[in-house]
Amino acid sequence: MNFFRTEPAGVIAPEDALPGRDTPIQISGKHFVNGSSMVAPFPEQMETIIVGMGCFWGAERLFWEVPGVFTTAAGYSGGTTPHPTYSETCTSRTGHTEAVLVVFDPDVVDLETLFKVFWENHDPTQYMGQGNDLGSQYRTAIYGTTEAQMAAAQASLENYQMKLTATGFGKITTEIAEAGEFYYAEEEHQQYLAKNPYGYCNHGFCQVAYS
């Protein structure tokens, strides 16, 4: 029996990524749970942020349940391959992480509330994976769509790191960067746990409270 666990490789170099395709994956665009549109244009007051915290099935459910979140979508972001498929992303050869697009009304829900959901419901200290889901497609990430979001994300990381360190946990590996293209996942992955209530979900309270 092999008791040793090999550390997953990092994000693939852009020149080595799969070529992908020019045409987007076709989806209905309608949120299965609340009926809102998953695709732009969104109402004028809305903001968007993209998060990665392992398998996007459970992560998306966490956010569509937050009051003030207008819509959510499962997809792929942070990598190179244009319009990747789920099977391609699962090879770790697209550079993308499984991601959730969160569209929210900042007059109803603030970033701190969203960050609390993010930090408390996965292990941000795990490198290139979540639990037994290993690979760069499961890495932890926050992709901001404004400079203010990225600054707030960095501040939230530093805040949570202090709490983790004080309780004996390791260093956060979460990638914080400007949002690039968000590629929508196939229709069957959208709001997956609403369609499959007993489906796989590895998300739950992790480690210590954010606030």
In Å, how far are 84, 86, 103, 120, 127 from 8, measured between CA atoms?
21, 19, 31, 23, 8
- The single-letter code of the amino acid at 67 is P
Residues 6 or more apart whose Cβ sits within 8 Å of residue 171: 125, 161
Cβ atoms within 10 Å, residue 211? 12
Residues 6 or more apart whose Cβ sits within 8 Å of residue 147: none
User: Looking at 55, 90, 201, 206, which residue is catalytic?
Assistant: 55
Q: Is 55 a catalytic residue?
A: yes
Give the 3-state secondary structure of residue 172. coil
> Which is nearest to 141 in space by CA: 156, 158, 155, 124?
124
> Which is nearest to 174 in space by CA: 135, 91, 118, 131?
118
Q: Name the residues annotated as catalytic.
A: 55
